[in-house]
Every structure is written in structure tokens, then in C-alpha cells.
Amino acid sequence: MLFGTEKGAYTGAERREGLFEQATGGTLLLDEINSMNISLQSKLLRVLQDGVVRRVGGATEIHVDVRVLSNINMPPYQAIEENRLRRDLFYRLGVVNINLPPLRKRKEDIHLLTNHFIQHLNKKLLKNICDIDATTLELFLAYDWPGNVRELHHAIEHAMNMVLGDSSLITPAHIPEHIIVKVNGHTPQNGNGESSATLNQILDDVERRVLSKAFQENGGNISKTARALGVSRQNLQYRLKKQALEFHTPDSPE
């Protein structure tokens, strides 16, 4: 609760500090402020202007000193026109405005964010994952992430729960299936209009394309391709054999 409560304010209410009181002297993040009720936004505006709060059921004004950060998941002026955000609150909050593009427009951040989530989730899930493999990274870079950074976090948490044993890499076999299907595009349909491609077939198709692309980018050099994909020569040769791929360009001198 933003403003706190006094005992007896309503049935079961206890005397509690609100978030503004708890954050005094520090910073408070208001997430997706356009989802806040308009009437509550007017009370928030008073706190920002006067630096005082009054607990629910209380009669005393409490002074607070809080730095406020906020975010919104749609263009601010659209939210104002749709009556989801008070214009005066926007101008009071919007001293410094930063427009953060969606994840699909800053895909260079994907690997960095992925590693951050892995390190965080290793502690939560008691895992020892170190990274995603090259094929998974290719899939992540090709996906549009309609759910933005939250969806990436969810995909990593899903994958880490799927990793078994002592494996330290996330592979396409671990990530949510819808990402693979979306990146892979149209999958073969059976007579009932349903997808007839199994997950393994889709994964094989993705792996085949990643291998082919990597070899082309590295001039057919097996050693360079293996390093680029983050696998050993032996592992790469196994994958080539499994996919029935042949590349006749010999290794050039390193």
C-alpha cells in the first residue's frame, strides 16, 4: 500500500507504514503507472507536490522525502488521451523522460540480459548454468519478443527448470516451444490443419540452418566455426554427421 493504514481504518486493518514512508530518504519505483486508478493518481500527485502522506484512516500528515521513478508501457500522451494517466501527474513526474525501445529493437542487449538472468536464477533455482548455446542465441535474436524483457526472463527461467543433470548450457531443447515454432515460421500441416512437425523436427531444422550459416560466415573452416558456435571440433563434427551436412572447404591455416 502506498500510503499506509491506521488500526481500525477498516475491518482487520493494522497500523502500518506505506511504501512512501518506507522509502523516505531513498527511491521508490512506480511500475506501469498508467494502470493506477485515476482517483489514486490524484492522491499521488499531492504527495509529490507537498511531500506529505496521510495513512488510510489517519488524521496526521507525515512528511516524506522520496525520489520517485516511474514507467509506463504505452506512449504517455496516448495514456492521457485515453484517460489512463492524469496530465498534471505526467508533467509532475516527467522531469526527465527516457524512451526505452522494446527488446525487438535492441537485440544487442539480449545476450547481456540473458547472462544476467542466468546468474540471478542460478541462486534461486540452485543451478550452475553458465550460458546459452549458439543455436539458442540465434533463436533469441530471430524472435520478436512481444512480451519484452519479462518474456525473456520467463523463457530463461523456463529453460533452467528444464535443464537436467550437470549440464551447464541452455539449448533449444530447453526453451519454450512457441519461440522455436514462431522463428521457424510455417510448419508442415496435416490433413486436419494441425502442425505435423514434431518439436525434434523443428529443432533439427533450426540447428541445420544455424550450422549452415556459421560455416558460410567462417569460410568453411571447421575450427573457426566450432569456436564461433562455442562447441568443440568433435561436437561440431557429431552435429554435422547427425544433420547429414557436408562441407568440402578444407580448414585453412589458422
**pTM passes above 0.85:** no
pLDDT the model gives residue 211: 77
In a domain, 137, yes or no: yes
In a domain, 142, yes or no: yes
First to last CA, the chain: 63
In a domain, 68, yes or no: yes
In a domain, 140, yes or no: yes
Q: Which of 156, 184, 212 is the last residue of a domain?
A: 184
Count of domains for the chain? 2
CATH number, position 162: 1.10.8.60
For the ranges 32-36, 109-113, 141-145, 206-210, the lowest mean pLDDT is seen at 206-210
pLDDT the model gives residue 236: 78
Over range 29-55, report the average pLDDT.
Answer: 90
Average pLDDT, the chain: 84
Residue of 73 and 27 predicted with greater confidence: 27
Range of the structural domain that residue 164 is part of: 103-184
Looking at the structure, do residues 119 and 139 belong to the same domain, yes or no? yes
Over range 30-48, report the average pLDDT.
Answer: 91
Say whether 189 sits in a helix, a strand or coil.
strand
Looking at the structure, do residues 116 and 68 belong to the same domain, yes or no? no
Q: Which of 123, 152, 184 is the last residue of a domain?
A: 184
In a domain, 244, yes or no: no
- Give the model's confidence band at 177: pLDDT under 50 very low, under 70 low, under 90 confident, else very high: confident
Amino acid at 251: D
Share of the chain above pLDDT 70, in %: 88
Q: Long-range contacts for 225-234 (Cβ within 8 Å, ≥24 apart)?
A: 228/134, 229/133, 229/134, 229/135, 230/131, 230/133, 230/134, 231/133, 231/134
Looking at the structure, do residues 110 and 173 belong to the same domain, yes or no? yes
Q: Any idea what DSSP says for residue 104?
A: G
* Span 218-249, pLDDT tens digits: 887 888 888 877 778 887 777 777 766 655 44
In a domain, 217, yes or no: no
pLDDT the model gives residue 239: 75
Q: Which three cell numbers stand for residue 29?
A: 519505483
- Contact (CB, 8 A) for 211 and 245: yes
Pairing of strands 61-63, 67-70: unpaired
In a domain, 215, yes or no: no
Looking at the structure, do residues 121 and 68 belong to the same domain, yes or no? no
pLDDT the model gives residue 172: 87
Over range 205-213, report the average pLDDT.
Answer: 75
Looking at the structure, do residues 108 and 88 belong to the same domain, yes or no? no
- Please determine, for residue 134, whether its predicted confidence score (pLDDT) is greater than 80: yes
CATH number, position 71: 3.40.50.300
- Please determine, for residue 187, whether its predicted confidence score (pLDDT) is greater than 70: no
Q: Which of 184, 199, 226 is the last residue of a domain?
A: 184
